[in-house]
Amino acid sequence: MSVTQCTTKHAVDELVESYQRVPMLIIATHPNRERIGERAALLDLHLSGTDYLSRVKPEFAKNGNAGRALLDEYVSRSPIIFEATDSGGIKLRAHSTKTVLTLAGRRPQDEYLVSEDELDNGVVLGLNHRIVLLFKRLPLKDTTVDDSHTLMGISADIQAIRHRVEHLATLSVPVIIRGAIGVGKQQAAYAIHKEQFGDDKPFISVNLAAIHDAVAETELFGVVRNAKHQPGYFEQAAGGTIVLEDIEDASDNIHQLLSRALQSQSVMPKGSTKAIPIECRIIITSHQESSAVDESSMVSMLFEKLAPYQLFMPPLVQRKEDIGLLFNAFVREQWRKLYPEKADQFVIPGELMKQLMTFTWPGNVRQLRNVARQVVIDSRDQEQMYLDPQLLSLLKPQSPQTGSAESVPKQRRPNSVSRGELTGALESCQFELQAVAKKLNISRASVYQLIQRFDGLQTAQDLSESEIKDSYAKHRGDTEKMMWELRVSQIGLRRRLKSLGYDI
């Protein structure tokens, strides 16, 4: 008997209302990519201890639409059986079905035991290497699956942030968005901006770590020189939004300038005596996870007094259910750009999705986006989506990072890195940004920003096609020699060469 027969609507409504979490299957990839993000609650498993998964059961649905089963010809009608165990775990039995069931990180067998903890964190199931499902305990409450939303995601966290974004767009208070590197802080800031102002108002992002003290006042507040007024970032953002990025990486001088401006709600251009009111929405981003920093510091003051509204973006590893949707959208975006003639003709191999779902993503959504881009570039002239073995080894499952904020060594301020020090580190690390970041004890994003700031430094992405062409011809495609001439990483260079169609 199915749960729809044995459970009253009232009981299901109660589960929804109580935000109780129930075992859920979510489609991470399916030969029909439109189905990514559909969910099926295993209510029979939750309520009576047994449930089934086959070609025809359960029904998966999204956005309140009618449900449909997996309906994949390779998935058998004979079910995989899910059974609750006395210890609180779930046994998955695939003895009497032709469907090949695999669990990421486990050797293939007919029976698997999933512990309670694993179910809370999410277990990745593969069906015949074609379909990948996330098996996770989640709230029953419906979510919206929309891969055209500025802030994509089906996790309860992202859905809650989307609601708060809508609310914040109606208030003009400053907001702090916290979260680790690449987690989507800028994206959330843009979502607030878009919700409030639409697309045509200024959205100015200021990387505070990249501003030198000597020019900070001019860049932020503008300058009056020879009776000519040159507006700063705050004025440029008038009528729209200014995002002050990574506030804790800014110098004390910048903190003081900002504090004064935010308290007086006005800016004073250098060389002027006339204050100009701030007429933009202010969003501050921070990679500190909590406000528990030195309470007397200027940063804390900026946080607590001037930006009482906070959004926290959780790391990607805690919201695995978003990975399928995000990866599909990123691949589609790149695919359309690079292979317009093949439109949307790509399939995400189950094996790849399994690896994506079990990786810990220290660089979060940005890293996922980069992997998507590389997979698309590497798939040129391949029958199906091609996976670079190097990329595969990078995506080996890693143990989740459990370190608390205290256990992470404090990073150095990027502003304290001189040009000479950066150049030396780039050379000794053969221009690999990750290695340079480690050597200098700053974030990879800061290395990148410093490269942009100092004249004469560049990354492979900044090279023009003609520079690459000339160097390629001169060194007959030897990428090591090209690296020393162009002074960019070999991996980045190889990627650029591949994307430009060079034979390497």
Give the Cβ contact number of residue 1 at 10 Å. Answer: 8
The one-letter amino acid at 472: Y
Query: What is the closest distance, in whole angstroms, from the C-beta atom of residue 45 to ligand ATP in the complex?
Result: 30
Binding status of residue 269 toward ligand ATP by CB under 6 A: no
Stretch that binds ligand ATP, among 70-78, 145-153, 267-275, 294-302 (CB under 6 A): 145-153
Reduced to 3 states (helix: H, G, I; strand: E, B; else coil), residue 81 is: strand
Binding status of residue 186 toward ligand ATP by CB under 6 A: yes
DSSP string, 396-461: S--PPP---GGGSPPPPPGGG--HHHHHHHHHHTTT-HHHHHHHHTS-HHHHHHHHHHSTT---GG
Q: Which is nearer to ligand ATP, 52 or 448 (CB)?
A: 448
d(CA 44, CA 52): 9
Q: Which is nearer to ligand ATP, 269 or 363 (CB)?
A: 363
Q: Which is nearer to ligand ATP, 40 or 152 (CB)?
A: 152
Binding status of residue 152 toward ligand ATP by CB under 6 A: yes
- Tokens representing 447? 């290395």
Binding status of residue 182 toward ligand ATP by CB under 6 A: yes
Q: Which is nearer to ligand ATP, 281 or 369 (CB)?
A: 369
Q: Which is nearer to ligand ATP, 46 or 366 (CB)?
A: 366
368-407: contacts with ligand ATP (CB under 6 A): 369
Q: Which of 187, 230, 318, 499 binds ligand ATP (CB under 6 A)?
A: 187
Q: Which of 37, 79, 174, 179 binds ligand ATP (CB under 6 A)?
A: 179
Binding status of residue 194 toward ligand ATP by CB under 6 A: no
- Tokens representing 144? 């919206």
Stretch that binds ligand ATP, among 121-129, 150-158, 288-296, 412-420 (CB under 6 A): 150-158
d(CA 224, CA 236): 15
Stretch that binds ligand ATP, among 128-136, 181-189, 455-463, 496-504 (CB under 6 A): 181-189
Query: What is the closest distance, in whole angstroms, from the C-beta atom of residue 290 to ligand ATP in the complex?
Result: 16
What is the side-by-side strand order in the sheet with 21-29?
39-41, 21-29, 131-139, 123-127, 101-103
d(CA 466, CA 468): 5
Q: Which of 41, 114, 365, 488 binds ligand ATP (CB under 6 A)?
A: 365
Reduced to 3 states (helix: H, G, I; strand: E, B; else coil), residue 322 is: helix
d(CA 406, CA 246): 19
Query: What is the closest distance, in whole angstroms, from the C-beta atom of residue 447 to ligand ATP in the complex?
Result: 11
Query: What is the closest distance, in whole angstroms, from the C-beta atom of residue 338 to ligand ATP in the complex?
Result: 17
d(CA 213, CA 210): 10
Reduced to 3 states (helix: H, G, I; strand: E, B; else coil), residue 96 is: coil
Query: What is the closest distance, in whole angstroms, from the C-beta atom of residue 398 to ligand ATP in the complex?
Result: 20
Q: Which is nearer to ligand ATP, 151 or 491 (CB)?
A: 151
Give the Cβ contact number of residue 56 at 10 Å. Answer: 15
Query: What is the closest distance, in whole angstroms, from the C-beta atom of residue 494 to ligand ATP in the complex?
Result: 22
Binding status of residue 324 toward ligand ATP by CB under 6 A: no
Q: Residue 393, class by beta-carbon neighbours within 10 Å (0-12 exposed, 13-18 middle, 19+ buried)?
A: exposed
Burial 17-42 (b: 16+ CB within 10 A, else e): eeeebbbbbbbbbbeebebbbbbbbb
Binding status of residue 181 toward ligand ATP by CB under 6 A: yes
Which residues contact residue 365 at a Cβ distance below 8 angstroms, ignoring those fewer than 6 apart? Answer: 182, 183, 184, 187, 316, 326
Residues that bind ligand ATP (rule: CB under 6 A) add up to a total of 18
Q: Which is nearer to ligand ATP, 328 or 355 (CB)?
A: 328
Stretch that binds ligand ATP, among 8-16, 168-176, 182-190, 260-268 (CB under 6 A): 182-190
The one-letter amino acid at 384: Q
Query: What is the closest distance, in whole angstroms, from the C-beta atom of residue 365 to ligand ATP in the complex?
Result: 4
- Residue at shortest CB range from ligand ATP: 184
Q: Which is nearer to ligand ATP, 124 or 152 (CB)?
A: 152
Query: What is the closest distance, in whole angstroms, from the C-beta atom of residue 190 to ligand ATP in the complex?
Result: 8
Q: Which is nearer to ligand ATP, 151 or 242 (CB)?
A: 151
423-452: contacts with ligand ATP (CB under 6 A): 445
Q: Which of 185, 193, 281, 373 binds ligand ATP (CB under 6 A)?
A: 185
Binding status of residue 366 toward ligand ATP by CB under 6 A: yes
Stretch that binds ligand ATP, among 210-218, 247-255, 364-372, 492-500 (CB under 6 A): 364-372
φ/ψ of 301, rounded to 5, equals: -60, -45
Query: What is the closest distance, in whole angstroms, from the C-beta atom of residue 238 to ligand ATP in the complex?
Result: 23
CA angle 204, 210, 211 (to 5 degrees): 80
d(CA 301, CA 61): 46
d(CA 317, CA 121): 9
Q: Which of 70, 92, 183, 216 binds ligand ATP (CB under 6 A)?
A: 183
Question: Of 300, 351, 356, 367, whose CA–CA distance to 325 is shortest?
Answer: 356
Q: Residues in the site for ligand ATP, rule: CB under 6 A?
A: 151-153, 179, 181-187, 245, 285, 287, 365-366, 369, 445
